[in-house]
Structure 1
Amino acid sequence: MTLILGIDPGSQKTGFGIINQQGSRAEYVTSGIIRLPRESLPARLKIIFDNVSEIIAEYAPQEFAIEEVFMARDPKAAIKLGQARGAAIVAAVNADLPVFEYAAKSIKQAVVGTGAADKAQVQHMVKSLLKLPTVPPEDAADALAVALCHAHTHQSMIKLAGARTSRRGRAR
């Protein structure tokens, strides 16, 4: 059993989602959105840090996965996004969690099957994969998709490691 905290960072809204990975099966634990007030950026970064720290303290995840910064049309927006990511990552590192980072395209590929999926497709697949009664809000769904991407990547690495040791006939 591995609890994975996924984060979809943003300077206005930051999504979070926690799943419980048991072998190749993932179960929904919780998700939500950290809504940030129209305050200064440093004040919003503190809110992200404090909220992610509280989520970590309450649920005690073993792993932390976050979406990488993508280059938006607006460089200022990309910088703010990077700072929001940094606040969340520092909360994870302070809790001694390993941090895993995934590109948006990789997350969509892992969850939907195509790196060009739109938000509605991600929401639908997250609902389906986690057997949720309703479609989660966009930012929460994105955070759950980050966690699912990490779970799938981690599971694939375990399978690859097992294939290598069985081909060689011995464990390393």
Structure 2
Amino acid sequence: MGQLVNIAAHSFTAQDLLRMERVLLDALEFRVSNVTAFTALHLLVQGLPGTRPPVAALAVYLLELCLLDYTLLEVPPTHQAAAALLLAMHTHGTAGAQAPRLLRLARVEPAALARAAGRLVRIHRDAARPPTEALGALLAPIVSKYSRPSWCHAALCAPLDAVDPAWCSC
């Protein structure tokens, strides 16, 4: 922002620029919203041409499961999306050349990605084999939805045992 003010020879301030931006957005009825994990996933998949539908479907399934885990509120949406896509790629055996590109696109620190992926593995495992009846009942509608052919039977994919830390670094 400061560079733009300098280029314009200080004919306006940064605050003026922000105010005009707000006026323009209001005039266009444009709504700015926070990025969600689903938005981040969509952008990551667009940046990875050739991502197969079963991989994307499994990543979406994992993100929907995340909505039920309050401990993931502290994990940024981009980390959740990158971890979900990375796990989906490894689950389907398609990580190969795509994983390094995903890690560059996501710009997530390896340690943060490994933590998020570890949580998603646990969530996926709990959905596949609920430790309690109550959790099984809570997850049943989501598992049912993602067991359909239209979602490439994503809920039927066996969860990974663990995350290999090497997956989370370029």
TM-score (normalised: structure 2): 0.31
TM-score (normalised: structure 1): 0.30
Q: Which one scores higher on RCO, CA 8 angstroms, separation ≥ 6?
A: 1
Structure (1/2) with the larger helix percentage: 2
